[in-house]
Amino acid sequence: MATLELSLEEEAGATPVRRRRLGTLFWFAIGWMVLVFAVAIFADLLPLPNPTDMDMLERRAPISAEHWLGTDGLGRDELSRLIYGARISLIVGLCAPMIGVTIGGALGMLAGYFRGRFESVVVGSMDVLLAFPPLILALAVTAYLGQSIFNLTCILGVLGIPAFMRVSRAATLTLARREFVIAAQALGATHARILLRELLPNVLLPLLAFFLLGVAVTIVVEGSLSFLGLGVPPPISSWGSMIGEGRESLDVAPMLAFIPAIAMFLTVLAFNLIGDTMRALTDPRQGAL
């Protein structure tokens, strides 16, 4: 009979509880996210005026009971536009990095695992994509295919692929040298199995943290593009286009540019905060002493 590991039983009752103080900032971030998502999802059910209904008599109206955040230069309800704009910003902000994380993540893992010529081709083509000026690409695509939310999401998604590829390739490179991967090979596991069962769970976490960062960046980039008039086609509102439209009346009604800017700032900050905390929380090494 083998030597019994007695000490483990002693410990069984007293599993170290991994409790960490998350901090109030984290809970504020979560609260803000919940609020933004809730109003964006349930915008149609809220008693809001139509965001595209113009009221030429009430242009740039101040805050009132009727218009909680006032109206814009065309007399459209600012709060309503902000909430419908959140929808667009979030859809683009979440979907575009999704494209990046799927394609870039998969390419990076394959490149990091198989190495060789495949890796050179992937890294090379990503470098080409990175070297291509993103604004020109956006201009070219919108000029050719037309302005739409779908096209915008695709452009932003493709632009994110190289970054995700790099993150996942770097993680895979270090992991693929670890013994547990060699152990799986020695067990006769197929490449697909090693990639999915051994590598993916470990690569997923840095990717997820980077994904949240990507969401934040995409929201800003979408805003910039819309601000330049390359984003969502009017009269649909997004935070970026609202800031762009507010620019014309910065001197008379600065609020029109600042309100969507603040909303964007808080949302991006919240995504970054949550991303950082998640990464710290799920690192398995922190639990080991």
Touching other proteins, residues 131-190 (CB under 8 A): 178-180, 182-190
Burial (CB count <10 Å: 0-12, 13-18, 19+), residue 30: middle
Length of the chain: 289
Residue 5 vs 44, nearer CB to other proteins: 5
Cβ neighbours, 10 Å, residue 240: 29
Q: Is 8 in the site for other proteins (CB under 8 A)?
A: yes
Binding mask 12-31 for other proteins (x = CB under 8 A): x-x-x-x-x-----------
Q: How far is the CB of 286 from other proteins (least distance, A)?
A: 8
* Closest by Cα among 47, 79, 48, 78 to 60: 78
The CA–CA distances, whole Å, from 18 to 9, 10, 205, 209, 284 equal: 19, 18, 18, 20, 11
Q: Is 197 in the site for other proteins (CB under 8 A)?
A: yes
Binding mask 257-286 for other proteins (x = CB under 8 A): ---------------------------xx-
- How far is it, in rounded angstroms, from Cα 90 to Cα 85? 8
Alpha-carbon torsion, ordered 185, 189, 190, 196, to 10 deg: -100
Residue 96 vs 171, nearer CB to other proteins: 171
Which of 52, 102, 125, 202 lies at the binding interface for other proteins (CB under 8 A)? 202
Which of 6, 56, 57, 131 lies at the binding interface for other proteins (CB under 8 A)? 6
Q: Which residues would be at the binding site for other proteins (CB under 8 A)?
A: 2-9, 11-12, 14, 16, 18, 20, 178-180, 182-190, 193, 197-198, 201-202, 284-285, 287-289
